[in-house]
Amino acid sequence: MAAVGPVVLATGGTGGHVFPAEALAGELEARGVPFALVTDSRGRQWQGALSRRPIHYIRSASPTGSLQSKAKALLTLAVGLFDAWRVLGRIAPSAVVGFGGYASVPTMVAARLRRLPAMLHEQNAVLGKANRLVQGSAGLIATSFERTRFVPADDARARLVGNPVREPVRALRASPYRSPSDGRIIDVLVFGGSQGAASFSQVVPQALLSLSPALRPRLRVVQQCRAEDLGSVRKIYAKHGVVAELAPFFSDLPQRIAAAHLVIGRSGASTVAELATIGRPSILIPYPYAADDHQTANARAFEATGACIVVPHASFDAATLAEHLTMLFEAPERLAAMAAAAHGAGRPDAAARLADVVAELTGLSLQPSGVPA
């Protein structure tokens, strides 16, 4: 392949933006395509493929809060635009890929000013605010769901690729699902993220302990809890003889998902993509304060495939959850059908598809690395 400029990955902020960028970086690396990362100071924590190539830091901020805070953030973004302009001029990229978050905005705007090929990747079923700001700069828009709010259905730029997941998740794609029939142990995994664990620590134990005497002894629970909730939740389960493993964080979460008969969690883009890739049934409780209520959009799209049950946060109480749990545990064939539906919705080759869209954008011949479906 003739020498080409690197593909710039513009991202920042939360893992929901970082994981797809890291997945694309790994795919580009496998294809022998150079890349560079443009991010803000939060990018210093990243590892993996993103840390093995040049990282260029710009200034950015989120224009939220008071009027004074918004004004200060806009000024910071303007300075970040100057930073990004200089960076892009120095490295002469062949393309720029934005993954959302305000840290990507200056780089996407600078790409438009320099008339560079640019595209977006949206992880959620709603085009994020930052991506909407720079939507006009994008020659192509890679989406993760069949329908993405704020991307018109007839937008010729849209390409459905899915949301790339990490290699440890893809490695579990072939792990079979065995429903908990004939009195077998029922493995339940509960994780709500830093924003959801408080309500989960209250509602989930109450719901599980209200199950019938025939079901309750079969439970084996793995639950993420806030550190301040660990003691009280552990006492509740121990008092009623429920086997439970509790922790504020699980470093091997993909393996925990694969081992679960049912997952109870939020519906962030990465969570939905991992459930679909591995193929596990779930009860999803969207975080109600997510921007543009995108978690509800993600969950409803996933529910439409038959993969999950959605419980709005306003309806998330012990009685409602227990009703769903009883229905599922007493009909394990329903769990198996949901697992199959989730698996069918998975797109383990999303990173490869995204790299193909980069090739389409640039006109470069980027040979596939051969990710199995």
248: region left, alpha or beta (phi > 0 left; psi from -120 to 50 alpha): alpha
Q: Take residue 177 and report the two structure tokens written for it.
A: 């699902």
Count CA within 13 A, CB hemisphere, residue 34.
13
Residue 43 pLDDT exceeds 80: no
Helix (H) or strand (E) holding 55: strand 55-57
Considering the entire predicted model, what is its pTM? Answer: 0.92
**What is the rounded distance in angstroms from the CA atom of residue 305 to the CA atom of residue 184?**
27
Over residues 270-274, the mean pLDDT reads 95
Q: State whether residue 147 is helix, strand or coil.
A: coil
Residue 44 pLDDT: 62
Which tokens go with 76?
A: 């910071």
**Mean pLDDT along residues 155-174:** 95
The type of residue at 300 is: R
Both tokens of 82, joined, read 């100057």
- For 188-213, the pLDDT digits (tens) are 999 986 555 789 999 999 999 999 99
CA–CA distance, 354 with 371 (Å, rounded to integer): 12
Give all domains of the chain, ordered by start, each with its CATH number: 7-164+348-362 (3.40.50.2000), 186-345 (3.40.50.2000)
- High-pLDDT (> 90) share of the chain, %: 77
Taking only the tens place, the pLDDT of each residue in 284-317 is 999 999 999 999 999 999 999 999 999 999 999 9
Residue 240's pLDDT band, with cuts at 50, 70 and 90, is: very high
Count CA atoms closer than 13 A to 235's CA, side-chain side: 5
Please check whether residue 175 is in contact with residue 278, taking contact to mean a CB–CB distance below 8 angstroms: yes
State how far the Cα of 373 lies from the Cα of 366, in Å rounded to an integer: 19
